[in-house]
C-alpha cells in the first residue's frame, strides 16, 4: 500500500467535496499552516463532522476508510501491534491474513510519513509482517482500543464487553431551555474542556453534570472528589460533544446564546488562537482551579503522591506524542544531553521536579529525573510499576529513598523515552534489555546504565548513574589518610608487586584501584585494565571488558595483556586459582598488578590466596599491600547533633582518642536543606596491610588470619575499625555507623 498524499491540502479537498465553504477555507488556510492544525480547528468549531473529515483525510493520504466498531477482533490480531504503541500512535490492528495486517488509524490527518518509516517499520521488521493502513473515526478507534485493553487485562471477557455497548447514564439533550448559565460557571472552563464535563443545573446542593465520555474513569474520580469536598450531590447525564462545546461557548455569560452551527453561521470572524487559549477569570463561586489541581499531589512524609485522590493525572497530549514520534532521531541528539541547558536550570529540589512533572512533557520529566539524581548523588534510579501507579526511588549513599508516586498513565511514555535515549527496543517488553547513555547534569558528566526488567505490571527500569568525576578522586578524597596513606604510597611507588583491595560488594574497591591508577598514570607508563564491567572511562589507559561467556575470562585476558608490554595491570577481581596464579606470576615478572578479592579484612586475603592453591612463597614475595575497606555515610555537618557514647564503648575507643586533639562525637541530625536525612556523601574506612618479615613468616606457615592481623597491628597497622573510630571522633561519621560497618 502506498502512503502518498494526493496533491491537495485538507481544506482544498473539503471545499472540493462541498463540505466546506470556499471563502471560509481561504481565510482558514492563511491561519492554519498544516493539515493537522486545520483538522483540529475544523473539528473544534464543528465546521465538519468527524466522519467527513476522516474520510477526506483518507482520500488525501490515499488510504481506505473503514468502520471497525462492533467487529469481531481477534486477540492475536490486536496484539500484532503492542497496546502502548496503539495508544501512542492512535493505531490499532483489526485484521490479519498471513503476514499482512490491516491497521486502522484515528486522526489520519495527524499522520506523517514518519510513523511509516520509523516505529511502525520497526514493528514490521521484527514481526515479519506488512502493515496496511486505513483511516477510521476516533470513536471506532477508541472502541477498539478499549476492547484491546479489556482483552489484555482479562482474556475471559465476552467478545464485546457489554459496558461499551451502551452507557448506563441517562442521556439528555441540552439547549438554552434546560441549561442554567449560572450553573455552567461552577466548573472552571479549562476543567470543563479537559474532562469534558459540565454542570448544567445546580439547585439545593444537587449538581446535574453532563458527561461526554462516561467511560473516562477520571470523570468519576473528579466528581466524587467534588461531591466530598463541597458536600453536594452529583447526578450524571450522558451528553454529546456538541452540547459540551455549546456550554463552553457560553461559559461566563448571563444567558445562553444562539447555537452556532455551520449552516446558521455567518461570515467567520478572524481566528486568533491566542483568544481561544486565554483563560477568562471565573466568577467568585467557581471551584478554584488550584484547589482541584493541588489535590492531584499529596506530600506524605516527603514523598509525593499523584492522583491519590485521583483527580487528574497529567496527560500526555496525543499531538505531542505524534510530534515526538516523528522526531525520534532528534531526541537523543546532542542538544538534549546537556540537561542543565535542556532544563534551563540545575534542579535542586523535589518541588522543582513536581513542576516539571505537571507539564506532562516527557523529555523534560526524564531529564529532570537525572538532574535530581545527580543533585542528590544517587547511584541508581528505580522506576517500579504497580497496578495503578508507579514508584520512583533513588538509591542515595547506599539507601533507597522514595521520591514520587506517579499515575500509571505516565509509565509507558516514560519507559519509551528512556528506551529511546538508551538505545533499547521500545516495543520489546517481554525480555530484559540493557543499554546506556551519557548525560551532563549539574556540571557532572554521567554515564547511565539502563536495565529493563519485565514485571506483571509493566517494565521496571533501573538506571545506574556513574559519575565520571568519581573515577578521578584522589586517595585522600576517598578517605585514606595518615599512616595508612603513607604505607600505601610507598607500596604504590614500587615498580612491581600486587596491591589487593578487599571488602564487601559496593565498598568502593574499584574506585580505590582507579584512584591508584590515576596516581601512577604518566605518558611513559602503559596501563591496561581487565574489568567486568568497565565502570568508568579513564583517559590515557587501555580498558578492556572481560567476557567469560565467550572465553575471554580474567585469566585468558591476563595472558593476552602480558603480551601487550604493560607496566601496570588492573585485574577486576581474582575469582579462581588460575587468575590468582597468573596475578602473582605477572607481579614477579616485573609488573604492578592491582586487583580485588572478596574478603572482609586485609589479613584474610593471605589464607584465601593459599586456599586458591597459590604457593605461599609466591604470595609473600609478590604482594606489596592489602587494603580492606568499607563505605560509610558521612554526617551532614550542618545539622549533625552531639552524641552520647555509652560507657561500654568508651574503653575500646579511648586508646584511639589519644591520637585526636579534640575528640567530639556526633550523630545524624534530622536533615536540613543541605543534606538527605542528616547524611551528606560517603567516605571510606581503610586498613592497609603491608608485608613484613613476620607477616611473610606467618603466611608461609599457613597461620590463620587472626594471627596475621595481630602481627600487623603490633607493627602499627591501623585497623579498619580504628579508622572508623578516628573518623567518628572527627565528627565525620557517626560512631554507631563506624562500629556497625566494621563489626565482623
Residue numbers at the binding site for Zn ion (CB under 5 A): 636, 638-639, 672, 674-675
d(CA 256, CA 180): 8
Q: Contact, 145 vs 86, CB < 8 A?
A: yes
Separation CA 441–CA 93 (nearest Å): 41
Distance from C-alpha of 204 to C-alpha of 199, rounded to nearest angstrom = 14
Q: Which of helix, strand or coil describes residue 529?
A: strand
Least distance from Zn ion to the Cβ atom of residue 632, Å: 16
For residue 140, give the DSSP letter.
Answer: H
The runs of H, that is alpha helices, within 395-508 are 411-422, 475-478, 482-492
Nearer to Zn ion, 471 or 678 (CB): 678
Cβ proximity to Zn ion, 398 vs 548, nearer residue: 398
Do residues 681 and 715 lie in contact, with contact meaning Cβ atoms separated by under 8 Å?
A: no
Kindly state the cell numbers that stand for 723.
579508622
Residue 634 CB, nearest approach to Zn ion (Å):
11
* Smallest separation (angstroms) from Zn ion to the CB of 638: 4
Closer to Zn ion by Cβ: residue 558 or 675: 675
- Strand pairing report for 458-467 and 444-455: antiparallel
Nearer to Zn ion, 560 or 674 (CB): 674
Give Cα separations from 459 to 386, 408, 628 (angstroms). Answer: 10, 11, 38
Buried b (16+ CB within 10 A) or exposed e, 552-591: bbbbbbbeebbeeebbbbbbbbbbeebbbbbbbbbbeeeb
Cβ contact 211:239 at 8 Å: yes
Q: Kindly state the smallest distance separating residue 672's Cβ from Zn ion, in Å.
A: 3
Tell me the closest approach of the beta carbon of residue 640 to Zn ion, in angstroms: 7
Q: In angstroms, what is the minimal distance from the CB of 641 to Zn ion? A: 10
CA 191 to chain centre: 29
The residue to which cell 450531590 is assigned: 233
Q: At a CB cut-off of 8 Å and minimum separation 6, what does 273 contact?
A: 31
What's the 3-state SS for 262-312? CCCCCCCCCCCHHHHHCCCCCCCCCCCHHHHHHCCEEEECCEEEECCCCCC
- Return the closest-CA partner of residue 226 out of 206, 251, 254: 206
- Least distance (Å) from Zn ion to the CB of residue 643? 15
Q: Among 596, 591, 605, which residue's Cα sits nearest to residue 689? A: 605
Q: Whose CA is closest to 341, among 234, 243, 442, 437?
A: 442
Nearest Cα residue to 302 out of 423, 422, 393 = 393
Judged by beta carbon, residue 207 or residue 676, the one nearer Zn ion is 676
Q: Which residue has the cell 496533491?
A: 7
Contacts of 581 (CB under 8 A, 6+ apart): 612, 613, 614, 618
- Nearest distance from residue 620's CB to Zn ion, in Å? 47
Cβ proximity to Zn ion, 558 vs 639, nearer residue: 639
In angstroms, give the least distance from the CB of 648 to Zn ion. Answer: 29
Dihedral sign, Cα of residue 385, residue 431, residue 439, residue 571:
positive
Q: Tell me if 578 sits within 8 A of 555, measured CB to CB.
A: yes
> Which cell numbers hold the place of 293?
489541581
Q: Give the containing element (helix H, strand E) for 459.
A: strand 458-467
CB of 467 to Zn ion, least distance (A): 21
Q: How far is the CB of 636 from Zn ion (least distance, A)?
A: 3
Nearer to Zn ion, 189 or 682 (CB): 682
Buried b (16+ CB within 10 A) or exposed e, 373-383: bbbbbbbbbbb
User: Shortest Cβ distance from residue 673 to Zn ion (Å)?
Assistant: 7
Residue 261 or 674: the one with the smaller Cβ distance to Zn ion is: 674
Classify 381 as helix, strand or coil: strand
Measured from the CB atom, the residue of 70 and 637 that comes closer to Zn ion is 637
Q: Which is nearer to Zn ion, 363 or 677 (CB)?
A: 677
Strand partners, 313: none
Query: Contact, 256 vs 245, CB < 8 A?
Result: no
Pairwise CA distance, residues 348 & 441, whole Å: 11
Instruction: For Zn ion, give the closer residue by CB, 433 or 734.
Output: 734
Q: Which is nearer to Zn ion, 73 or 675 (CB)?
A: 675
User: Closest distance between Zn ion and the C-beta of residue 664, in Å?
Assistant: 17
Complex with Zn ion: residue 107 or 640, whichever CB lies closer:
640
Nearer to Zn ion, 487 or 633 (CB): 633
Nearer to Zn ion, 582 or 675 (CB): 675
Measured from the CB atom, the residue of 197 and 639 that comes closer to Zn ion is 639
CB nearer to Zn ion: pick between 114 and 681: 681
Q: DSSP letter string over 548-614?
A: GGGTB-HHHHHHHHHTT--SEEEES---SHHHHHHHHHHHHTT-EEEEEE--SSSTTHHHHHHHTT-
Q: How far is the CB of 637 from Zn ion (least distance, A)?
A: 8
Q: How far is the CB of 685 from Zn ion (least distance, A)?
A: 21
Nearer to Zn ion, 276 or 351 (CB): 351
Helix (H) or strand (E) holding 101: strand 100-105
CB of residue 511 to Zn ion, shortest distance in Å: 24
CB of 399 to Zn ion, least distance (A): 15
Bin 128: left if φ > 0, else alpha if -120 < ψ < 50, else beta.
Answer: left
> Nine-digit cell at 235?
447526578
Distance in Å, CB of 633 to Zn ion, minimum: 12
Amino acid at each position: 500500500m502506498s502512503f502518498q498524499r494526493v496533491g491537495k491540502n485538507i481544506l482544498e479537498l473539503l471545499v472540493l467535496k462541498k463540505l466546506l465553504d470556499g471563502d471560509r477555507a481561504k481565510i482558514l488556510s492563511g491561519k492554519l499552516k498544516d493539515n493537522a492544525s486545520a483538522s483540529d480547528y475544523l473539528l473544534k468549531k464543528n465546521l465538519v463532522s468527524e466522519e467527513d473529515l476522516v474520510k477526506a483525510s483518507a482520500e488525501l493520504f490515499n488510504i481506505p476508510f473503514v468502520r471497525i466498531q462492533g467487529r469481531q477482533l481477534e486477540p492475536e490480531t490486536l496484539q500484532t501491534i503492542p497496546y502502548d504503541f496503539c495508544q501512542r500512535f492512535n493505531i490499532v490492528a483489526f485484521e490479519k491474513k498471513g503476514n499482512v495486517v490491516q491497521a486502522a488509524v484515528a486522526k489520519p490527518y495527524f499522520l506523517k510519513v514518519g510513523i511509516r518509516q520509523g516505529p511502525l517499520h520497526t514493528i514490521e521488521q521484527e514481526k515479519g509482517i506488512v502493515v496496511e493502513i486505513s483511516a477510521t473515526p476516533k470513536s471506532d478507534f477508541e472502541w477498539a482500543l478499549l476492547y484491546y485493553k479489556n482483552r489484555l487485562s482479562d482474556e475471559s471477557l465476552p467478545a464485546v464487553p457489554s459496558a461499551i455497548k451502551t452507557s448506563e447514564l441517562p442521556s439528555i439533550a441540552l439547549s438554552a431551555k434546560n441549561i442554567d448559565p449560572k450553573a455552567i460557571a461552577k466548573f472552571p472552563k479549562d476543567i470543563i474542556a479537559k474532562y469534558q464535563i459540565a454542570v448544567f443545573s445546580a439547585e439545593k446542593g444537587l449538581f446535574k453534570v453532563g458527561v461526554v465520555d462516561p467511560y473516562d474513569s477520571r470523570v468519576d474520580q473528579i466528581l466524587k472528589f467534588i461531591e466530598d469536598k463541597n458536600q453536594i450531590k452529583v447526578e450524571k447525564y450522558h451528553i454529546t460533544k456538541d452540547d459540551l462545546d455549546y456550554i463552553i461557548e457560553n461559559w461566563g455569560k448571563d444567558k445562553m446564546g444562539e447555537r452556532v452551527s455551520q449552516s446558521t453561521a455567518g461570515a467567520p470572524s478572524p481566528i486568533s488562537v491566542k483568544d481561544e487559549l486565554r483563560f477568562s477569570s471565573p466568577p467568585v463561586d467557581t471551584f478554584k482551579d488550584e484547589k482541584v489541581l493541588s489535590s492531584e499531589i499529596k506530600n506524605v512524609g516527603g514523598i509525593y503522591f499523584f492522583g491519590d485522590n485521583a483527580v487528574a493525572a497529567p496527560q500526555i497530549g496525543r499531538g505531542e506524542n505524534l510530534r515526538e514520534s516523528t522526531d525520534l532521531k532528534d531526541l537523543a541528539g546532542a542538544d538534549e544531553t546537556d540537561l542543565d541547558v535542556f532544563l534551563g536550570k540545575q534542579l535542586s529540589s523535589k518541588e522543582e521536579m513536581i513542576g516539571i512533572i505537571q507539564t506532562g512533557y516527557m523529555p523534560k520529566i526524564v531529564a529532570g529525573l537525572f538532574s535530581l539524581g545527580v543533585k542528590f548523588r544517587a547511584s541508581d534510579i528505580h522506576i517500579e510499576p504497580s497496578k495503578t501507579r508507579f514508584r520512583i526511588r533513588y538509591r542515595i549513599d547506599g539507601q533507597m529513598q522514595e521520591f514520587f508516586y506517579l499515575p500509571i498513565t505516565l509509565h509507558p511514555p516514560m519507559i519509551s523515552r528512556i528506551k529511546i535515549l538508551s538505545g533499547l527496543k521500545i516495543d520489546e517488553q517481554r525480555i530484559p534489555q540493557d543499554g546506556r547513555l551519557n548525560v551532563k547534569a549539574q556540571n557532572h558528566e554521567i554515564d547511565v546504565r539502563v536495565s529493563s526488567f519485565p514485571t506483571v505490571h509493566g517494565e521496571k527500569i533501573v538506571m545506574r548513574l556513574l559519575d565520571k568525576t568519581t573515577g578521578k578522586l584522589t586517595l585522600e578524597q576517598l578517605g585514606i589518610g595518615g599512616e595508612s596513606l603513607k604505607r600505601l604510597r610507598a607500596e604504590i611507588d614500587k615498580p612491581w608487586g600486587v596491591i589487593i583491595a578487599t571488602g564487601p560488594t559496593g565498598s568502593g574497591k574499584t574506585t580505590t584501584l582507579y584512584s591508584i591508577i590515576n596516581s601512577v598514570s604518566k605518558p611513559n607508563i602503559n596501563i591496561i585494565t581487565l574489568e567486568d564491567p568497565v565502570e568508568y572511562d579513564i583517559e590515557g589507559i587501555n580498558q578492556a571488558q572481560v567476557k567469560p561467556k565467550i572465553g575471554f575470562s580474567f585469566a585468558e585476558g591476563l595472558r593476552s595483556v602480558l603480551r601487550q608490554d604493560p607496566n601496570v595491570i588492573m585485574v577486576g577481581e581474582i575469582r579462581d586459582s588460575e587468575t590468582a596464579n597468573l596475578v602473582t606470576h605477572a607481579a614477579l615478572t616485573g609488573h604492578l598488578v592491582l586487583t580485588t578479592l572478596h574478603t572482609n579484612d586485609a589479613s584474610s586475603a593471605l589464607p584465601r590466596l593459599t586456599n586458591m592453591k597459590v604457593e605461599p612463597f609466591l604470595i609473600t614475595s609478590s604482594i606489596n599491600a592489602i587494603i580492606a575497606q568499607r563505605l560509610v555515610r558521612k554526617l551532614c555537618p550542618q545539622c549533625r547533633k552531639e552524641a552520647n557514647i555509652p560507657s561500654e564503648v568508651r574503653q575500646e575507643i579511648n586508646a584511639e582518642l589519644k591520637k585526636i586533639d579534640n575528640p567530639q562525637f556526633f550523630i545524624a541530625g534530622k536533615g536540613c536543606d543541605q543534606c538527605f536525612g542528616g547524611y551528606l556523601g560517603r567516605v571510606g574506612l581503610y586498613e592497609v596491610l603491608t608485608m613484613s618479615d613476620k607477616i611473610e613468616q606467618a603466611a608461609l606457615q599457613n597461620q590463620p588470619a587472626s594471627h596475621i592481623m595481630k602481627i600487623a597491628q603490633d607493627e602499627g597497622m591501623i585497623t579498619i575499625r580504628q579508622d572508623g573510630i578516628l573518623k567518628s571522633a572527627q565528627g565525620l561519621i557517626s560512631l554507631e555507623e563506624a562500629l556497625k560497618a566494621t563489626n565482623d
